[in-house]
Amino acid sequence: MVAAHRDSVPVGRRRTLVEMSIVVLTGAGISAESGVPTFRDADGLWEGHRVEDVATPEAYAAQPAVVHRFYDDRRAALAGVEPNPAHRALARLEERLGDDLLVVTQNIDDLHERAGSTRVLHMHGELLSALCRACEGRVRWTGRLGEFPACPSCGISALRPDVVWFGEVPYEMDRIAAALEAADLFVSIGTSGAVYPAAGFVQHARAHGAATLELNLQPSEVSRLFDETRHGLAGELVPAWVAELLADG
Ligand code: BJW
């Protein structure tokens, strides 16, 4: 059962911009036009494997060198990609909204930050961070992990990618839940809606009175739950949506 929205004017125009609190969820689709492969589109990231089969702690335990090479190559590729107009539009929106905009990203790249966004939560972790399985410390990591380097804190060779695999608990869930509950508008950009808990955020936000908008190349698995959906390239849809908001506000 979906709760009634706080008022009945169209998505994104319910209040003046300065009064709105917005949560944006982003997925792989927002980085696709930067040249970062998505997971579930053709030519997806795992080279013919289902991500659900390989992005697991069990796959890492069985074949650590293979998993390290996969993340090491993606980390190295980050140096060759740039934020696109969708990332930059969200950074422009933050300049206007400040603390009233929160970007929750499932992506482990750093393109939101490089575009200028500062209020970003990486719920599935970050490529440029390593997590020590021995001391549980985190360290910024730009090199390779596949050579099994020692942890700078404890000296044990137990560093893994600081990412969230299936069966692990996503990061920052308390802050995300609080933001969804306070949001006037929830916007989902470039995600297939195939992975929970992120796919459930639209229902969480709606249940607490937010209007909801999906911007994606094609209908996602949860499109029907949104008040409004727009289909097309993030690099076009997001700047257009942000321009609408800024013009209204
Ligand atoms: C464009 C575009 C362009 C393309 N412009 N658009 C409830 C029901 C059923 C199952 C579960 C459930 N709750 C939990 C589960 C289990 C599981 C799960 O969801 N399983 C599914 C198979 C059903 N979830 C988990 O295990 C999660 N943990 C968990 O639930 O813990 C319990 C808990 C939760 C909360 C509180 C307390 C306890 C963990 C999930 C971890 C996911 N990890 C990965 C790998 C991260 C590291 C890495 O990057 O390698 O995260 S898997 C992968 O999928 C990655 C992504 O972040 C995630 C989502 O993918 P995304 O971003 O949506 O990409 P795509 O490729 O799927 O879609 C791209 C979209 O963009 C497409 O729609 C395109 O059309 C579009 N697009 N170009 C605009 N230019």
Testing ligand 1's pocket by substitution, the residue of 195, 220, 231, 236 carrying the most ligand atoms inside 8 A of its CB is 195
Confidence class for position 4, pLDDT limits 50, 70, 90 = very low
**CA–centroid distance for 198 within its chain:** 9
The predicted structure's pLDDT at residue 99: 96
**Token pair recorded at residue 35:** 């040249």
- Across-strand partners of 125? 163
Residue at token pair 């321009």: 243
3-state secondary structure 184-247: CEEEEECCCCCCCCHHHHHHHHHHCCCEEEEEECCCCCCHHHCCEEEECCHHHHHHHHHHHHHH
Determine the residue of 39, 175, 202 to mutate for testing ligand 1's pocket, defined as the one with the most ligand atoms within 8 A of the Cβ atom.
39
Please tell me the distance from the alpha carbon of residue 93 to that of residue 99, in angstroms, as a whole number.
11
- Residue 17, pLDDT score: 67
Share of the chain above pLDDT 70, in %: 90
> Between β-strands 185-189 and 22-26, what pairing exists: parallel, antiparallel or unpaired?
parallel
> Which has the minimum average pLDDT: 17-21, 86-90, 91-95, 200-204?
17-21
Radius of gyration of the chain (CA): 18
β-partners of residue 24 are 103, 187
Collapsed DSSP state (helix, strand, coil) of residue 157: coil
Indicate if the pLDDT at residue 200 is higher than 70: yes
Q: What spatial distance separates the first Cα and last Cα of the chain, rounded to whole Å?
A: 31
pLDDT at 218 over 80: yes
Q: HSE (CB half, 13 Å, CA atoms) of 193?
A: 20
Number of other CB atoms surrounding residue 36 within 10 Å: 20
Structure confidence by residue, pLDDT tens digits, 113-157: 999 999 999 999 999 999 999 999 999 999 999 999 999 999 999
* Res. 9: pLDDT tops 70: no
The rounded distance, in Å, linking the Cα atoms of 58 and 182 is: 37
What's the pLDDT score for residue 43?
A: 65
How many Cα atoms occupy the beta-carbon half-sphere of 58 within 13 Å? 6
Hey, is 182 helix, strand or coil? helix
For residue 147, report the distance from its CA to the centre of ligand 1, in Å: 28
Total-model pTM: 0.94
Predicted confidence (pLDDT) per residue in 28-86, tens digit = 999 999 999 999 876 666 656 678 777 899 999 999 998 999 899 999 999 999 999 99
Which atom of ligand 1 sits closest to the CA of residue 106? 57
Residue nearest atom 1 in ligand 1 by C-alpha distance? 29
Residue 16's pLDDT is what? 66
- Calpha distance 30→207 (Å, rounded): 26
Confidence of residue 19 (pLDDT cuts 50, 70, 90): confident
Q: In whole angstroms, give the CA distance from residue 142 to residue 83.
A: 18
> What integer best gives the mean pLDDT of the chain?
91
124 is catalytic: yes
Interaxial angle between packed helices 234-248 and 85-97, expressed in degrees from 0 to 180 and rounded to the nearest 10: 20
